[in-house]
């Protein structure tokens, strides 16, 4: 098995951020939002925390998909939050989407949130337990959770094959970021062990395709 190769935790390079925000993640992001909205029936007037919200595409899709949700997006990259603020304004959701530029490890909220989501953040994080601990402490007991990220392949060659298969036509920077993210990601077994270690026994891991894992359930 290939060891994890860490990439920088924050995405702060302006060019990298611009290219990421212009990339087409519609299918992946809309699929994530649809799965969240259809999995839980107690989301009316809920406040959903999006950890590592990046340029805000998922918060905006959530706000479009559910009329009474409020979303708090957190990202520690100022260039990402600036783009997210612009996108939220353009989409007309400044009343329902709030954005915070902060590391999730440093966040403390006046009230625990009703639900937590996170897409493609965990592979950036050096210590994964901090991520699951944040989920445990920032959410109300019983809160719905949906987390998705990449699976680390067995070798660099396999990672390159995945990049070639799914990002053949993308800009070189995005292909390089995708490759680095695959190398920094966790395996299904590693994530399952993290959940067990933190006693998050109501969160279950599933592998929906050849390169993602999804953790869903409720946090107690």
Which residue ranges make up the site for ligand SAM (CB under 6 A)?
9-11, 25, 52-54, 57-58, 74-77, 80, 103-105, 119-121, 124-125
CB of 97 to ligand SAM, least distance (A): 13
Sheet holding 97-101, edge to edge: 97-101, 70-75, 47-51, 115-119, 143-150, 212-219, 203-206
CB of 193 to ligand SAM, least distance (A): 21
CB closer to ligand SAM out of 45 and 90: 90
Q: Cα 193–196–197 angle (5° rounding)?
A: 85
CB of 87 to ligand SAM, least distance (A): 11
CB closer to ligand SAM out of 44 and 174: 174
CB of 164 to ligand SAM, least distance (A): 20
**Is 124 within 8 Å of 96 (Cβ atoms)?**
no
**Is 212 within 8 Å of 118 (Cβ atoms)?**
no
CB closer to ligand SAM out of 101 and 220: 101
Question: Dihedral angle at the C-alpha atoms of 184, 17, 158, 33, nearest 10 degrees?
Answer: 90
Structure tokens belonging to residue 101: 């530029």
CB closer to ligand SAM out of 185 and 200: 185
């Amino acid at each position: 098995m290939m060891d994890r190769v860490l990439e920088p935790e924050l995405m702060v390079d302006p060019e990298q951020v611009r290219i990421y925000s212009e990339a087409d993640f519609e299918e992946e992001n809309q699929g994530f939002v649809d799965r969240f909205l259809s999995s839980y029936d107690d989301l009316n007037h809920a406040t959903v925390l999006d950890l590592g919200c990046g340029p805000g595409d998922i918060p905006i899709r959530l706000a479009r998909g559910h009329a009474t949700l409020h979303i708090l997006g957190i990202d520690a990259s100022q260039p990402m939050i600036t783009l997210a603020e612009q996108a939220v304004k353009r989409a007309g959701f400044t009343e329902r989407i709030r954005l915070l530029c902060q590391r999730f490890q440093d966040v403390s909220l006046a009230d625990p949130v009703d639900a937590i989501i996170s897409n493609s953040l965990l592979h950036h994080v050096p210590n994964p337990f901090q991520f699951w601990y944040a989920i445990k402490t920032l959410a109300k007991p019983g809160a719905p959770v949906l987390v998705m990220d990449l699976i680390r392949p067995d070798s660099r060659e396999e990672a390159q094959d995945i990049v070639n298969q799914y990002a053949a036509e993308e800009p070189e920077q995005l292909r390089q970021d995708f490759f680095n993210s695959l190398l920094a990601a966790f395996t299904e077994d590693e994530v399952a062990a993290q959940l067990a270690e933190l006693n998050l026994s109501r969160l279950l891991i599933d592998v929906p395709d050849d390169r993602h894992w999804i953790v869903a359930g409720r946090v107690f």
